[in-house]
Amino acid sequence: MAGAWIIADNREQTLELLTIGRELATTMGTKLTALLWQDQELADDYISHGADEILLLPPLPEDQPPGAYIPVIADEAQKKDPDIILMASTVRGKEMAARIATRLNTGLCSNCIALNLGEDGKTVEMERLVFGGTAVQKVTCTVRPAMATIPLKTFEPAVKQEGRQGDIRELPAPAPSPVKILERKPRETEAKDISESRIVVCVGRGIEKEEDLALARKLAHALGGEIGCTRPISEENHWLPEELCIGISGISVKPDLYIGLGISGQVQHVTGIRDAKVICAVNTDENAPIFAAADYGIVGNLYDVVPKLIEAFKT
Amino acid sequence: MPNIVVCFKWVIDEAYIRRGSSGELDFSSVSYKISDYDRNAIEEAVRLRNESGGRVAAVTVGSPEATKGLKDALSRGPDQAYFINDASFENIEPSQTSAILADVIGSKIEYDLIICGEGSSDLYTQQVGPRLAERLGIPCISFVLKLTIDGNHIIAERKVEDGVEVTAAPMPVLVTVLPDINTPRIPGVKDTLMASKKEVVNIAKDDLAQTYEPTLQTTAMTAASMERRCVKFGAEPGDIAGFVEALEKEGVLR
Ligand SMILES: Cc1cc2nc3c(=O)[nH]c(=O)nc-3n(C[C@H](O)[C@H](O)[C@H](O)COP(=O)(O)OP(=O)(O)OC[C@H]3O[C@@H](n4cnc5c(N)ncnc54)[C@H](O)[C@@H]3O)c2cc1C
Ligand SMILES: Nc1ncnc2c1ncn2[C@@H]1O[C@H](COP(=O)(O)O)[C@@H](O)[C@H]1O
C-alpha cells in the first residue's frame, strides 16, 4: 500500500497542501488522499483541486474538538500505510500531528518550510528552522509514513482543473474525546494580513506605552505602510493582535522596506524578516543585535528619531 | 491536592551560536539556559500548587551536563526533580524524548497534571507534550493561556486561530502552556540556596524499560545566512537626511 495524505483544518490550508501533495503523489506515482471533516460539501471541490480520494469524517458534536478524530485517522493510516502524511501547522494541526505520529510510531518534521524527494524517489528530505532561526535542520523519517506539519502560505493554493474524478469514502464516527469544549470565544478584531505588505513598520518593547503606538502608526502612514510587532508586544502586552507578530512563532513578511523601532533583534524575530529587501532599525543601544541584521540603522531614541523621520518622509 | 509534573529542557542559548566561515554552526562560546517557555511551565505548576496544595516534580531528560539546569529549575519553586540522564541523550529527537519521559513518569511518578512548555527554545518542535500525553494515554490540551483546577477537572483556555476555546478534561491530563500564561519569577539568592537542599532523583538509561530508537534523522544542520549592509547612522539632522537618502537610492520608498 502507498499514498500521500493531507490533513488540514479548513479549505484555504487544504488547497495549499493539495499543491505539494499533488506534486509528491505524481512524482511518486501514487494516490493523493485528502481528509475532510469541516464542510462535507467540499469533497468534490478538493477532487477538482487535485485530490484522488476524499476520506470523510462524520461531523462532531458541538462540544468535541477535532482531536477526537485521532484514533480513527491513525487506524486508517495503519491499514492503508501511506508513504507520507502532510498536515497544516495550525494550533489544532500541530497537536493532532504529534499524537497521530506517536500512534504510528513515526517521525514528524514540525513547521516544515521546504520538502524534497530524494534521489531514490522515496525518501522525503524536509527542512525546518532550529535555535530560533539561527540554523536550518534537514531531516528524514526513518519509519513509514514520513510526517510533516506545514505552515500556512508555504505553498500556493492548488488551481481548479475541470473534469477530475475521485472517490469519496466515509470513515467511522470517533468515540467521544475526554476533552470537552465548554465555550468558544471568537476573536474580536480581524487583524490585517501584513504578510504581503510593501512597507512594514514594526514595534518592539522600546515602545513604552500603548498610546505611543500612535507614533509608529504615523510613521507607517507617512510611508504608506502597515504596522507589525514583536511577540512581547502582542503576547505579553496585548497591545496589538497576534496576527501582527512577526517571527518564528508568528508570521513572515517580505516587504521592500522594514523599519524596526525599539526592537533588540533576537533571532526568533529576525527570522520572520529574512526575506525583506531592506531592513532598517532604530535602537538606543548601539550593540543591539538588530544592527547586525539591518542594512541601515539609526542609533538613537525612537521618541526623538521617529518624529524627525515622519517629517523627512512627508517632504 | 494534585500531584503536578512539569517537564523542562536545558538548552543551548541560541544567542551565542556563531556562523563559521563555511556556514557551519560554531558552538565554541555557547552557554546554556532553561528553555524560555519552560520557565512559564514551571511558574504555572508552582502557582497551582500554592493555590491548591499538592507537590510539584520537575523532570528533565538530557546529558549529564544538564546538572546545572536542575538547580535553576528547583530555584523556581518545584519540590523535587527527576534527572533522566545519559551522554547519549544529548541529541535525541521528540519521539525519543517523549517516550523516555513517558517511561519514567508512567512508572515512577504520581501525577494528576503534567505541564509542558509550548515549544523548546532549541528544537521548537512543539511535539514532546502531545506525544507524551498520547504515550501515557491521557487527554491533552495544548497552547493554553489560562489554567484552573476545578475538583478533578482541569479547565483550560486554549488559544486557537479563530479565538479562544474554553476546554475541560478530567485529570490526569497534560497541558502545554503559552508564555502569556504568567510572568516567570527571577529566582533570588535564597531560592538558589533552598534549591540545593531539594531532592534530585537520578535516573540512568539502564533504569528505563527499553531503549528508544530515533524515527527522525538529521541529515544536515547549517547556519541560516543573512547578509546585510550594516550601515549605522546617528540621530543628528545630517544623519536622518543620509538615512532617508539611502532609502531613496534603494528605491524602496513610494
Ligand atoms: C521559542 C520562541 C519563539 C519566539 N518567537 C518569537 C516571534 O515569532 N517573534 C518575536 O518577535 N519574538 C519571538 N520570541 C521572543 C524573542 O526571543 C525576543 O524575546 C523578542 O523578539 C524581543 O522583543 P523586543 O525586541 O520587542 O524586546 P526587547 O528584547 O526587550 O528589546 C527592546 C529593545 O528596545 C530598545 N529600546 C528601548 N527603549 C528605546 C527607545 N526609547 N528608543 C529606541 N530603542 C529603545 C532596547 O535597547 C532593546 O534593544 C520567541 C522566543 C522563543 C523562546
Ligand atoms: N529533554 C526534555 N526533557 C524534559 N522536557 C522536555 C524535553 N524536551 C522537551 N521537553 C518539554 O516539551 C516541551 C516542548 O518541546 P519541543 O517538542 O522540543 O518543542 C518543552 O517546552 C518541555 O516542556
Q: Which residues of B touch A140 (CB under 8 A)?
A: 216-217, 219
In 3D space, the residue among A57, A55, A59 whose CA is nearest the CA of residue A34 turns out to be: A55
Sheet containing A114-117: which strands, arranged edge to edge?
A: A114-117, A124-130, A135-141, B216-223
Q: Residue of the nearest CA to atom 26 in ligand 1? A: A204
Average pLDDT, chain A: 95
Check whether residue B238 and residue B169 sit in a common domain.
no
Instruction: Grade residue A1 by pLDDT with cuts at 50, 70 and 90.
Output: low
* pLDDT tens track for A191-217: 789 999 999 999 999 999 999 999 999
- pLDDT over 70 (residue A188): yes
Superfamily of chain region A4-170: HUPs (3.40.50.620)
A288: contact with B, CB 8 A cutoff? no
Which of B228, B229, B239, B248 best probes binding to A when mutated, by most A CB atoms within 10 angstroms? B228
The ipTM estimated for the assembled molecules is 0.95
Q: How many domains does chain B have?
A: 2
Q: Is the CB of A134 under 6 A from ligand 1?
A: no
Inside any domain, residue B58: yes
Q: Is pLDDT at A118 greater than 90 in this prediction?
A: no
Same domain, B141 and B178: yes
Residue tagged 528530505 (cell numbers): A125
Topology agreement, domain A4-170 and domain A199-314: yes
Is B84 in the same domain as B188? yes
For A124-163, what is each residue's pLDDT tens digit? 999 999 999 999 999 999 999 999 999 999 999 999 999 9
pLDDT for residue B254 is more than 80: no
Does B59 have pLDDT greater than 70?
yes
Q: Is the pLDDT of residue B153 over 90?
A: yes
pLDDT above 90 covers what percent of chain B?
94
In a domain, B219, yes or no: no
Of the bound ligands, which one is closest to the alpha carbon of residue B93? 2
Please enumerate in sequence order all residues whose Cβ is within 8 A of that of B50, keeping only pairs 6 or more positions apart, or say none: none
Sign of CA dihedral B180, B186, B191, B192: positive
B133 CB within 6 A, ligand 2 = no
CATH number of the domain where residue B83 is located: 3.40.50.620
pLDDT tens for each residue of A279-298:
999 999 999 999 999 999 99
Same domain, B122 and B193: yes
Q: What is the mean pLDDT of chain B?
A: 96
The answer as to whether B220 is a domain residue is no
3-state secondary structure of B254: coil
Asked whether residue B212 is assigned to any structural domain, the reply reads no
Q: Ligand 2 centroid to A312 CA: how many Å?
A: 48
If you average pLDDT over residues A211-226, what whole number do you get? 96
Q: How many CA atoms lie within 13 A of B208 on its CB side?
A: 19
- Asked if A274 is an interface residue toward chain B (Cβ–Cβ < 8 A), one would say yes
> What is the domain range of residue B232?
225-254
B251, B190: one domain: no
Q: Per residue in B31-58, pLDDT tens?
A: 999 999 999 999 999 999 999 999 999 9
Which CATH fold would you assign to the domain A199-314? Rossmann fold (3.40.50)
State the average pLDDT over residues A65-90.
97
Instruction: Say yes or no: B70 and B131 in one domain.
Output: yes
Query: What is the per-residue pLDDT for A314?
Result: 83
Domain boundaries, chain A: 4-170, 199-314
B17-26, B134-143, B152-161: lowest mean pLDDT where?
A: B17-26
